Amino acid sequence: MRALARRRAVACGKGRSPGIRPPIELNGEDQKQDRLTLEMLSAIDSGPGISQRRLASQMGIALGLTNSYIKRCVRKGFIKINEAPANRYFYYLTPKGFSEKTRLTARFLASSLDFYRNAAESCERVYRECDRHGHDAVVLCGHSELAEIAFLKSLDSNVRVLGLVDLAGRQGTFFSRDVWHCLDDAPRMPRVVTSLVDAERVVARIRRHDPDTPVYVPTVLGLSRDIMPGADAGEAKLS
Angle between helices 95-132 and 145-154 (to 10 degrees): 40
Q: Please name which of 113, 122, 239, 118 lies closest in space to residue 192, comparing C-alpha atoms.
A: 122
The CA-atom distances, in angstroms, between 219 and each of 15, 80, 133 are 6, 43, 18
Angle between helices 52-59 and 29-46 (to 10 degrees): 120
The confidence score (pLDDT) of residue 161 equals: 97
Strands 191-193 and 137-141: parallel
Tell me: the pLDDT tens digits for 57-80?
888 888 888 889 899 999 999 998
Mean pLDDT lowest for which of 44-58, 139-153, 208-222? 44-58
Tell me: the pLDDT tens digits for 16-34?
333 333 444 444 567 778 8
* Residue range(s) of every CATH 1.10.10.10 domain in the chain: 29-106
* Residue range(s) of every CATH 3.40.50 domain in the chain: 2-19+118-237
pTM: 0.62
Residue with more model confidence, 28 or 202: 202
Can you name the CATH fold of 29-106? Arc Repressor Mutant, subunit A (1.10.10)
The confidence score (pLDDT) of residue 229 equals: 36
If one looks up domain 2-19+118-237 in CATH, what number appears? 3.40.50
Angle between helices 63-75 and 52-59 (to 10 degrees): 110
